[in-house]
Structure 1
Amino acid sequence: MKDLGHGANVDFMAKAFNKNTKDIIDFSSNINPKLIPNLEKYILEGLNKSTSYPDINYTSLKKNIGNYININPEFIIPGNGATEIIYLLMKNIKKRLAILNPTFSEYERGARLNNLEVINFMLNKDDEFSVNLDEIEEKIDEFDSLFICNPNNPNGKVKNIEKLLELMSKHNKLLIVDETFMEFVYEEEKYSLIKYINKYENLFILKAVTKFFGMPGLRLGYGVTSNKKLIENIYKYKEPWTVNSFADTLSNYIFNDKDYINNSKAYYLKERKYMLNALRKIKRLKAYDTDTNFILIKLEDKKSEELKLQLFKKSNILIRDASNFVNLDESYIRIAIKSHNENQLILKELNRIMGE
Structure 2
Amino acid sequence: MEHGGDIYTEGILKGREILDFSSNINPLGVPKSFTNNLDEAIKAVEKYPDAEYRSLKKCIKEYLDFSVDYFKCGANDKNYKKSEFFISEKDIILGNGAAEIIDLSISCFKKVCIAVPSFMEYEKNALKWGCDVIYSTMKKDMTYDYEDILLQTQKSDVLIIGNPNNPNGGIIDKDKFKKILDFCEENNKTIIIDEAFIEFTGKNNFSFLEKMKNYKCILIIRALTKFFALPGIRIGYGISKNQELIDKIKSKQNPWNVNCFAEIAAKYVLKDRNYIEDSLTWIDEERKYMVSNLKKVGLIEEVYNTYSNFVLCKLKSLHCDELYKICLDKGIAIRKCDNFKTLNDKYIRLAIKNREGNDKIIKLLNSLS
Same fold (TM over 0.5): yes
**What is the one-letter code of the residue matched to 1:26?**
D
Matched with 1:142 is 155
Q: Could you tell me the TM-score, scaled by structure 2's length?
A: 0.90
Partner of 1:157: 170
Counterpart in the other structure of 2:299:
284
Of the candidates 75, 95, 106, which is equivalent to residue 79 of structure 1?
95
**Per-residue deviation, 1:267:** 0.9
1:53 to 38, 41, 48: 48
Name 1:187's counterpart in structure 2.
Answer: 203
Runs of 4+ in 1 over 4 A off after TM superposition: none
The answer for the alignment partner of 1:268 in structure 2 is: 283
CA displacement, residues 202-254 of structure 1 (integer Å, 9 cap, x when unaligned) = 11110011210011011111011011111111111111111110110122211
The aligned counterpart of 1:331 is 346
Identity percentage of aligned residues: 37
> 1-side partners of 2:91 and 2:156: how far apart?
25
Question: Deviations for 1:158-187, whole angstroms, at most 9, x for unmatched residues?
Answer: 222342323322333211100000000022
Matched to 2:351, the amino acid is A
TM-score by length of 1: 0.93
- The structural deviation recorded for 1:76 is 0.5
Counterpart of 1:31 (choices 25, 28, 32) is 25
- 5+ unaligned residues in a row in structure 2: which ranges? 66-86
Distance verdict in 2 for CA 1:139–1:158, change over 3 Å: closer
Secondary structure of the residue that 1:298 maps to in structure 2? Answer: strand
Letter in 1 for 2:9: F
2:57 to 54, 62, 66: 62
Structure 1 regions of 5+ residues with no counterpart?
Answer: none
Q: Is 1:131–2:152 an aligned residue pair?
A: no
Distance in 2 between residues matched to 1:312 and 1:140, nearest whole Å = 41
Query: 2:112, 2:151 → 1: CA distance?
Result: 16
Question: Residues 143 and 170 of structure 2 are in contact (CA less than 8 Å); yes or no, is this contact kept in structure 1?
Answer: no
Asked if the contact 2:33–2:269 (Cα under 8 Å) also holds between the matched residues in 1, the reply is: no
Q: Distance in 2 between matches of 1:140 and 1:59?
A: 35
Q: Which residue of 1 aligns with 2:246?
A: 231
Distance 2:57 2:304 in 1: 36
How far 1:201 sits from its partner (Å)?
A: 1.3
Aligned match for 1:212, one of 227, 246, 256: 227
**1:279-314 alpha-carbon deviations (Å, 9 max, x no partner):** 11112202111111101011001000110000101x
Query: The residue matched to 1:350 in structure 2 has which SS?
Result: helix
> How many residue pairs were aligned?
343
Deviation at 1:197, TM superposition (A): 1.9
Deviation at 1:259, TM superposition (A): 1.4
**Distance (whole Å) between structure 1 residues aligned to residue 182 and residue 280 of structure 2:** 29
Letter in 2 for 1:221: G
In structure 2, the residue corresponding to 1:205 is in which secondary structure?
A: strand
Q: CA 1:213–1:139 in 2, change beyond 3 Å: closer, same or farther?
A: closer
Give 1:234-249 correspondences, 5 Å limit: 234-249=249-264
CA distance in 2, matches of 1:157, 1:272: 13
Range 43-52 or range 261-270, more displaced: 43-52
Distance (whole Å) between structure 1 residues aligned to residue 308 and residue 244 of structure 2: 33
Report the Cα distance in structure 1 between the residues aligned to 2:282 and 2:154, rounded to whole angstroms: 44
Following the alignment from structure 1 to structure 2, what is the Cα–Cα distance between the partners of residues 139 and 243?
35
> 1:298 aligns to what?
314
Residue equivalent to 1:7: 4
CA displacement, residues 247-282 of structure 1 (integer Å, 9 cap, x when unaligned): 101222111111110110111011001011111111
Q: CA deviation at 1:19?
A: 3.6
Question: 1: CA distance between counterparts of 2:45 and 2:58?
Answer: 20
Do 2:113 and 2:152's aligned partners in 1 also have CA atoms closer than 8 Å?
no
2:252 matched to 1:258?
no
Distance in 1 of aligned mates of 2:45 and 2:200: 31
